[in-house]
Structure formats: structure tokens, C-alpha cells
Chain A
Amino acid sequence: MLRIEGLTKNFGELCAVNRCSFEVAQGAIQGLIGPNGSGKTTVFNLITGFYQVTSGKTFYKGRDITGLPAYAISQAGIARTFQLVRVFRRMTVLENLLTGPKEQAGERLLPGLLHTPRVHRQELEQLDRAWDLLTVVGMARMANEICGNLPYAELKMVEITRALMSDPELILLDEPASGINPTLVNQILDYIRKLREERGKTFLVVEHDMRVIMNLCDRIVVLNYGEKIAEGTPAEIARDRGVIDAYLGV
């Protein structure tokens, strides 16, 4: 589904990511871990087009998407969340979700202005889907709340749900469990597994919490200082000398 080859990113003299390569199979839940500053979020930003690669390529479903602008990559079917939640705070939860779907007819000026029958129909469909999603994750009662008034954990769910509204095939989650209490974390993990089982979605998850990663992922890629140092199943990674050193060493 996703393949990166030799991704490298230099910020001036600082090399943040150095010749990173790995694959994510379709339907996999894959983890991307590493100590602080190892380049995980940078890799995300490179894949999703928010940073320009210094060298290397990204392939999505066989197609070279390197260098495409961020919005085009999103339109291709890759959704992402951010390390520090980026929700539209002055808009309600529902409004946020309604910005999610791709190719909304109403997003063109004239059809939107005139509220054509097609726009009207789409709005109702999207609204239904949004309510359904919110009910599934148990957030229906705050659907019309302004996001700015909600606690951080709820905002994380809003961001994830909003990303799902575009019906992506590949979802990149940047630290979905950070800043949330364990019960809620489990709910999120269950939800991710469910999405994979029932809808065939693929996930690439950056996470700091080792238990979450070990619990959740089929495969794990480990970065350190911008380079891939290990790749394998949770069991293999747990035994890997290099990984242990990276985390324990200074």
C-alpha cells in the first residue's frame, strides 16, 4: 500500500531523516517508533507532503507521490492526524466533521452559493454519516458543541473521526494516545482494530507509549537519529539489541 525508499530530509546542516525505507502492507496496523527526535513526525510530514524531501521517493499503491502538495496526497486517499491536535476550534464538532469528506460539490463557489439539489443531497448524506460516526465513538451528545469548549481527549477523537470522514484507505496517526487517560486509549485502540477488520483500513501509527504499540501493531519500524535501525514484529523488536540500546542508551 505504502512504500518509502531512501527518504532523506535535511534542514540546512541538520539531517533529520536519513535514507529511510520501509513498506506498509494493505490492511496492516504498523507502528513507527523511536526515541525523541528520531524523526518519526518528520517522516510523516514527508509522506504526507508537508515537507519537501531532500531525496528519496514515496509510493502509494504503486504510484509515485513524492513531491505532491499535501492536499493532493490527502485527496489520493491518505489521511493523517497531528501530534498537537489540529481541530477547528471555533467550529462545532459536526462542522469539523463536515469538512472531512473529499470532493464535496458544495465546496465549489457557485454550486455552494446556490445550494443546488446535488449539494443539498450531499450535505444530508454527510450529516448522516457524521452523526453515525459520532454515535459509534460515543460523542453524539457533543455534536453541536464548539470544539474550543471541549477537553483535549475529545478533540483527539474529533480529529480522528474527521479524518475518517474522507473515507481514506491509509491513515497516519501521530501519537493518538498521548495526553489521554488509559480507558480512552483502549477505546481508541479498539476502534482502530475495528476499522481494520470491518473496513479494511490500513494504519501507520507513531507512538511513544510502548505498551500501546506492542499491543496494537502487527509490525513495527524503529528509527533512531533519523535512520531505520530495526523492523519486525513486536516480539522481534522487543528482543532487538539495537532497539534496546537506542531507548536505554543516551
Chain B
Amino acid sequence: MARSNKPIVWSLFAGGGTLAAFLTPVLIIITGLAVPLGFMSGDVLSYERVLAVVQNPVGKLVLFGVIFLQVWHAAHRLRITAHDVGIHADTAVMLVCYGLAALGTVATVFALLSL
């Protein structure tokens, strides 16, 4: 049987899509809206508290999992959608989309490991 990378990207798309469906809305509220809208105190996102979360190995792992799956889900969907708006150069599109996702993954790993 011919080898294909489809199962890998598809599982990242499906896994990331499911995770994003469950978590992304509440994450956007927590990291972007709850404090300025007054639903939560500013301490929730204070440097000390967020640093403590990120320095915890479980916190690192969860953050990595969330960001990793979100970016690969987004990258795969963007690649497929490019075709729908008339961009048919799939190899170039794939390189840009997956390249951005890889860049985001690497940046996340470096940031998490340096903390």
C-alpha cells in the first residue's frame, strides 16, 4: 500500500478540532476577556500566577497540548480552504500552512522549556 501522511494530519485536524471545540471559547474568555470586562480579578493573569502555572510540569504539558493541537488543526483547515478560494498550488500552500504550524510548535516548546 502506498504510504501517505494523511492519517497524521487528519488525526491532528480531528483531535485539534475537538479540543478547540471544547476549550478554545472558554480559554479566550479567560486569557482575553474576563479580566478587562470585570468578571475576574486582575490577579488571575498576574505574572507570578501565570509563571507558577507554566513552571509546573503538568501546566507545561497542558499548555503545549492545547497550543500544539490548535495550531495544527488551524493549519490543516487553512490548507484545505485555500483550494476553495481558488488557490490550487497545494504544495506551496501546504508548506506555508504546516510551516507556520511547525514554527508555532517550536516557539511554544522553546518558551515552555526556558521557563
Determine if chain A interacts with chain B. Answer: no
List A residues at the B interface (Cβ < 8 Å): none
